[in-house]
Structure 1
């Protein structure tokens, strides 16, 4: 299982636009082959920061998504709204409690 977290800082006046993009794409991402989970988080200390937390069957499944038209369209629209460069990282699950 691969965990992917992407931290994004948005322009204050573009946050509603991001939520529209996310709402329109979340069901498609969740049903993408290899995706097990997707959720949206808010940083309680930074109102313009959102994070996606997703679970993927494998690094190959995530990469297939990243090469898809769905990703290109969604990410293309999203990155135009950033105030700062996003930070993304992946981790492999070692233990489940």
Structure 2
């Protein structure tokens, strides 16, 4: 299992639109094959910055999602709201808090 972290920054006037897109699509994303967790975080110091954390069983699962119509639709609606280039990392989880 690995974690995908995506950092996104939005124009202030588009934050509500992004949050509505996320709320509308989050369960569909969570139900993608191999997705074990999807969470959204907002930076405490800069409210224009958001992070998604998603846990995936295999890299293949994430790639299948990224090639799906669901991703293409969500990304098309989201990327026009950005005020900066997004950044993404795939990382291995080394320590569990549980």
TM-score by length of 1: 0.96
What stretches of structure 1 of length at least 5 have no aligned partner? none
Show structure 1 runs of 4+ deviating over 4 A: none
Partner of 2:74: 74
Matched positions, count: 97
* Deviation, structure 1 residue 2: 1.1
Partner of 2:55: 55
* Deviation, structure 1 residue 94: 3.1
Partner of 2:27: 27
Q: Distance in 2 between matches of 1:21 and 1:88?
A: 19
Q: Distance in 2 between matches of 1:48 and 1:41?
A: 11
| SS of 1:78 mapped into structure 2 | helix
* Deviation, structure 1 residue 65: 0.3
| SS of 1:62 mapped into structure 2 | helix
| SS of 1:44 mapped into structure 2 | coil
TM-score by length of 2: 0.95
Q: Deviations over 1:54-94 (max 9, x none)?
A: 00001111000000000000011000000000011011223
Q: Distance in 1 between matches of 2:82 and 2:93?
A: 29
